[in-house]
Amino acid sequence: MQSLNDIRSTFLGYFEKQGHQVVPSSPLVPRNDPTLMFANSGMVQFKNLFTGVEHRDYKRATTAQKCVRAGGKHNDLDNVGYTARHHTFFEMLGNFSFGDYFKSDAIPFAWELVTKELGIDAKRLLVTVYHTDDEAAEIWKSVGVPEDRIIRIATSDNFWMMGPTGPCGPCTEIFFDHGEKYWGGPPGSPEEDGDRFVEIWNLVFMQNEQFEDGSMRALDMQSIDTGMGIERVAALLQGTNDNYATDLIRALIEASADATSTDPDGPGKTHHRVIADHLRSSSFLIADGVMPSNDGRGYVLRRIMRRAMRHAHMLGSKDPVMHRLVPSLVRQMGAAYPELHRAQPLIEETLKLEETRFKQTLDRGLKLLDDELSGLPEGTKLPGASAFKLYDTYGFPLDLTQDALRERGREVDTDGFDASMAEQKAKARAAWSGTGEAGDLALWFDIAETHGATDFLGYDTESAEGQM
Ligand code: ATP
Ligand code: MG
Ligand code: MG
Ligand code: MG
């Protein structure tokens, strides 16, 4: 069996042989980049090399990058636990060329790595190219991909962007067909969201830069940026289409089952998946210096942690659970990411404290939610005011409430939630007038308004969160 750790070594080793510098993952919190909440792909740490602003003494690099996608342009939080292939935290393997090689080398490298080094059956693979990119299609043919396995895509799926601004370009992607026993269709078809055809690797031809005003320029040099999801490749090499059944994540699921004395594959299966995923994102974020708080990055962390904690609670755990799973994570990933070792005591303490505190209001909040729902006719949304009360009084992030409702096929009236939030803010603003601090507060509220009420999470007064 090729373990996740083996695949990482194979990938980095292959590109090292091809003259690439092995560069460590950058931290999840991007340095000097206010446009991005967390590193969401391998290219983030190289952004300025693509635009030509920064130069280093290498033109080829390869990395295993820690990524979190739980907000912003790439947000997979709501997929976790429900699709077989999305995580909030995952590792992206990549090779990069900074004005060195371009398409005609990047594609053959990828094909050789996938079919020879990793030994994936070429007959199970298909590729997509950007609809106007005849050159990429020709190169795929030249390495032996039959014409009917090269799919042209006109949507943004084959034009990659890190976020609203930054280097970008057309891309080509490799998909693996898990076979007819799974539902789903090839990329570009109406059934593409199924779990049968899974995207494993994206090769981006970096040749443009997008600006805030919507304009785009051609970059002076042509570069390569690729990203392969290690968990997805581990899944197919281990004969499953389910990332959560792979060696590393399965170990975390078993730790979760042990800690809660429940069956990893029983009715609580989804809970264990969410816990395993969120344990990784929370722990890595804490190791990179993020602490739970009521705004910004810290609030994203808090949302992830509390969401996991609700799932642990649903498994019947009376005492905090998350911190007890950390040793298992460190065993799995501490060798590749020594920061986990170093931060282990901090991670455990932070998780334990948050879970202890959240447990004080979690039960009462869930009971309120149940009461509200029992009075609601089938098909009606949970009123925004109720969701806001859960947020304000019981410390339930909105997405936690949405996640809890999803299990029951219900939704929240988010407009109503925003309205309650706005009302609360207006009251607070009125109450504060004449204190002499109005200037600061105006700024504070401006920030809130720019970000919209649902994203604005800095405000709290007497709430449960305020006591944290
Ligand atoms: P998808 O369409 O499946 O959501 P994506 O197109 O958003 O993936 P890219 O931005 O192209 O993903 O990232 C490169 C690679 O990273 C993907 O091909 C995939 O293998 C992996 N990847 C992306 N998002 C996730 C995730 N949430 N969890 C695990 N792996 C991921
Ligand atoms: Mg995606
Ligand atoms: Mg995609
Ligand atoms: Mg992609």
**pLDDT tens by residue, 34-78:** 778 999 999 999 999 999 999 999 999 999 999 999 977 788 988
User: Tell me, what's the pLDDT at 434?
Assistant: 53
How far is Cα 388 from Cα 392, in angstroms, rounded to an integer? 6
CA–centroid distance, 80 to ligand 1, in Å, is: 13
CA distance 199 to 201: 6
Give the pLDDT of residue 444: 42
The residue whose CB lies within 8 Å of the most ligand 1 atoms, and thus the one to mutate among 73, 83, 92, 201, is: 92
| Ligand 1 atom nearest 88 alpha carbon | 27
Site residues for ligand 1, CB cut-off 6 Å? 41, 69, 74, 76, 86-87, 90, 92, 199-202, 227-229, 231-232
Which residues of the chain carry a pLDDT beneath 50? Answer: 435-468
CA-40 nearest atom, ligand 1: 10
Taking CA atoms only, the protein residue closest to ligand 1 atom 16 is 229
Residue 15: CB atoms within 10 Å: 23
**Block residue for tokens 């799932």:** 311
pLDDT at 61: 98
Candidates 236, 141, 252, 151; CA nearest to 196 is 236
Among protein residues, the one whose CA lies closest to atom 22 of ligand 1: 229
Q: What's the 351 CA to ligand 3 centre distance in angstroms?
A: 32
Report the residue among 90, 236, 274 best suited for mutation to probe ligand 1: largest number of ligand atoms under 8 A from its CB: 90
- Supply the pLDDT for residue 442: 43
pLDDT at 34: 79
Q: What is the structure's pLDDT at 428?
A: 84
Residues 199, 201, 203, CA angle at the centre, nearest 5°? 125
Expressed in angstroms and rounded, the spacing between residue 9 Cα and the centre of ligand 4 is 23
Closest residue (by CA) to atom 7 of ligand 1?
A: 74
- Overall residue count recorded for the chain in this entry: 468
Q: Within 13 Å of residue 135, how many CA atoms lie on the same side as its CB? A: 9
